[in-house]
Amino acid sequence: MKIAPSILSANFLYLADQIKQIESEVEYLHIDIMDGHFVENLSFGPMIVSAVRQISKLKFDCHLMVQNPTNYIEKLKHAGADIVGVQVESTQHIHRLIDQIHQLDMQAEVVINPGTPITLIEPLLDEVDSILVMTVDPGAGGQKMITKCLKKVVTLNELREMNAFHYRIEIDGGVNAETIALAAKAGVDVAVAGSYVFGSTNPQLQIQKLMEESQIDEI
């Protein structure tokens, strides 16, 4: 399993330093983009993505929690995004957005909230590069994982194997040293971790702990 630290939980005054602390441990950096409408909070935008790109070569996994995702796709390409995640609940034109992301040579990720069934995204499974299963309600860090959401991960694994799909399965929300083992057992490929990593004085060590716990074999 891979860990994608979420900078939503980082100390913004020392953002560059905190990213540098974890860069040698991970492949992905998770960047939440919120507009204050789809979710209540405001967070980062393409300008921050562009600024962070200047100091990091990690793969930027940009999660759009916005009402009009179409307005962000091209801006994120220019800012240096590698993966763009779109909430399926935020648009009536998800196929068009996936195509737009691919046309700009980025990877397309579809995101589903805890209350959204997999059936809503089944027509997309052969088109996307990644599926992000939210294991908390989106919009704020530090929440407790809704563990029953991991049942979706199990189902997505089964569908991937049956149909030879190639998407990654990612989760976001409540990832810590205890829940990471449950995620690994369910078949998660990438786990987003925010407050557990950046809420510590040693983010690098926290990532190492997550990696260790995700490798524990079932007894």
Q: Does 142 carry a binding-site annotation? A: yes
Q: Cβ neighbours of residue 215 under 8 Å, at least 6 residues apart?
A: 1, 184
Quick check: is 61 catalytic?
no
Residues of the chain below pLDDT 70: 139-141, 216-219
Q: Cβ neighbours of residue 125 under 8 Å, at least 6 residues apart?
A: 131, 156, 159, 160, 163, 165, 167
Quick check: is 172 catalytic?
yes
What pTM was estimated for this model as a whole? 0.94
Q: Does 217 carry a binding-site annotation? A: no
Contact 153, 183 (CB under 8 A): yes
Query: Which of helix, strand or coil describes residue 45?
Result: coil
Tell me, what's the pLDDT at 219?
A: 38
Tell me, what's the pLDDT at 198?
A: 95
Q: Does 174 carry a binding-site annotation? A: yes
Tell me, what's the pLDDT at 113?
A: 96
